[in-house]
Amino acid sequence: MSVQLLNPSALPQPEAYAQVSVAEGSKLVFISGQVARDADGSPVGGGDLAAQAEQAYTNVHSAVTAAGGSFEDIAKLTIYVVNWEPAKMAQLGEGAMRAAQRLGFDLVRPITLLGVSALGEPDLLIEVEAIAVLP
């Protein structure tokens, strides 16, 4: 595995993400922000953050797999959520977990979560981008 996850004792010990990833490899993969669109480009999960999160994570998984890696090779995720508030965490987690369970990956990675006023298209509630390191 090219990515080792760490939670140093001097930092808070989160359950849902890792504080640090140490990546070793020769191939960097930058995955653009993935949104709630299926392979045909059709919208998925209109108005449903959990459904959109599941599709965005599914798309990230598909992208890293196409590059020859796996979700375990992802060193960092950045998540953008429209009109973020802590009450949305349950829906976000539910959708991410559904994708992880269905596709068989551990979604714990270093994550930055950002609240934004809007995304590129008006129906989008979430966008997930990733950086992976492959051997």
**Domain ranges (residues) in the chain:** 3-134
pLDDT band at 15 (very low <50, low <70, confident <90, very high): confident
* DSSP string covering 96-127: HHHHHHHHT------EEEEEES--SSTT--EE
**Domain 3-134 is of which CATH architecture?**
2-Layer Sandwich (3.30)
Calpha distance 47→82 (Å, rounded): 11
Write out pLDDT tens, residues 40-87.
999 999 999 999 999 999 999 999 999 999 999 999 999 999 999 999
Per-residue pLDDT reduced to its tens digit, 88-112: 999 999 999 999 999 999 999 999 9
